[in-house]
Structure 1
Amino acid sequence: MGRSTPRKSRQRSGGNGPRQVAASDYESDTAQYLERREAEAPTANANPQPARDNTELSLRVLRRYRPKIQSILAVAANAVAYHFLESTQGWEKHGVEGTLFVCDQDPVITPTGHTLPHVCVFILNRRSMDNLVIDLLNVTDCEVVGELIVFRLADEASQKAPGEEDGSAKKIIGLWLHADESNTRELHASLITAAWQQARQAYDAYLQAATAAVVANNGLSSGGDYAGDYGGGKRLSMSELFCKNGA
């Protein structure tokens, strides 16, 4: 039996120089394939659609829950929600942790023609399917207390903690944001409080106009209570405004 032909060894450069290795068939075929694809690529579409970025993908996710979200104003990578317990006068975790989005939504149009800015704070909960959404129009007070952004909700907007079975309302919610070298917590707190102030100013202007309309239509004194339907000379509550706007 003859000896088998010895396998040729790959060439190596002398000394300590780099080893010269011939390109494999896979590498050479891939290069030719890419060159052929570039040569055959159509040129009719001179303005191709840009690739979807993280903002677009986030918007698609958020709109599954809130279709009226128009844009994302700010993002915080890590936020934790707390609610204030009247019984203990202390804070307890709300059961919501995750990425926080400050979102601009379709504005709310009042019967008096006022346009109310409609910003919300949205936390995509990584702990469960229960997300947290705070409409700033439903917040009667917003301030920074220590490391928390504190929201006092209107009675009609009060929420239960996820998994809570009793009917106790959570009227005060605090959001803790991770602090970093870029002062993310301070920047987000400033943005949220400014958006809330703008929303409340617009809402107060609507209430004044609605009250004036009630007085003009019914000849009532300005000291009365005019909550309820605007139809027939009455102003709408915030929840009724949301219903009429499909919010």
Structure 2
Amino acid sequence: MDAAARQAVNLNVLRRHDPAISAIVDTSSHVVVYNFDSATETWKKVGIEGTMFLFRKESLNRYGIFVMNRLSTDNHNEELNSEMEIQVMGDYVIYRTLDDKVVGLWIYEASDRARIAKELEKWVVAARQMGAQCLQQSWIQFDVFSRHLAVFIICALAEDLLQSVDTDRVPSSVSATCMLARFRPDPPVSAHWFLKV
């Protein structure tokens, strides 16, 4: 079987476990997964070893690690995020998860280890940059929305106030409707437009 056919077969197998996976970016033929036990300060095998795939998901261009377990049906599937810390220590690529779990990937091939660690670090940095951009864009859009909302509330309060005023004292050339029409912005159809994350 040539490399392209093998890649297609592997992608189909991964999609059975996670249909959102769109591509295999890199692989390593033999990886063993360990967890660090902070109580005893030792590494413990979790019973997962086999081929590791670095994958990409199309939605929001996310990346992750999938170790197809040769020992059982329990696989290791971890999506990368901006909070991860990745480092190489000896034969291990080590990372910390969001829930403060420390995972060690023992990678048999030294050339795979260096390449994969570099790739993972690149994706984590990209996730941080994308997260910062999304947060900045969300705050800018929220600020615009909140300004529209504030003007809308002020106009509604002004309308209530004008209705309580004796209308004989308001000049006939200026009606409450005309005053409000000049200042009331069109409210957004939906508040979801500013939540582009």
- The 5 A counterparts of 1:96-107 are 96-107=48-59
The Cα RMSD (Å) is: 2.8
The secondary structure found in structure 2 opposite 1:191 is: helix
> For residues 13 and 82 of structure 2, what CA distance do their matches in structure 1 show?
23
Query: 2:87 — aligned with what?
Result: 143
Per-residue deviation, 1:153: 1.2
User: Is it true that 1:178 corresponds to 2:140 in the alignment?
Assistant: no
The secondary structure found in structure 2 opposite 1:53 is: helix
Q: Which has the larger radius of gyration?
A: 1
Amino acid of the residue matched to residue 179 of structure 1?
E
Q: TM-score, normalised by structure 2?
A: 0.67
Percent of aligned positions that are identical: 27
Query: 2:170 — aligned with what?
Result: none
- The 5 A counterparts of 1:68-147 are 68-108=20-60, 117-137=61-81, 139-147=83-91
Deviations 1:115-159 (A, max 9, x none): xx211111001111111111012653222233221221113xxxx
- The 5 A counterparts of 1:205-244 are 205-218=133-146
Amino acid of the residue matched to residue 184 of structure 1?
D
- Equivalent in 178, 195, 200 of residue 128 of structure 2: 200
Alignment size in residue pairs: 153
Q: Which has the higher helix share?
A: 2
Q: TM-score, normalised by structure 1?
A: 0.54
Amino acid of the residue matched to residue 196 of structure 1?
V
Per-residue deviation, 1:184: 1.9
> For residues 75 and 9 of structure 2, what CA distance do their matches in structure 1 show?
18
The secondary structure found in structure 2 opposite 1:80 is: strand
Structure 2: 5+ residue stretches without partners:
148-190
Amino acid of the residue matched to residue 121 of structure 2?
T
User: Is it true that 1:187 corresponds to 2:115 in the alignment?
Assistant: yes
* Shift >3 Å, 4+ stretches: 211-219, 231-236
> For residues 147 and 51 of structure 1, what CA distance do their matches in structure 2 show?
27
Deviations 1:157-176 (A, max 9, x none): xxxxxxxxxxxxx6221111
> For residues 131 and 29 of structure 2, what CA distance do their matches in structure 1 show?
31
Structure 1: 5+ residue stretches without partners:
1-49, 109-116, 156-169, 220-230, 242-247
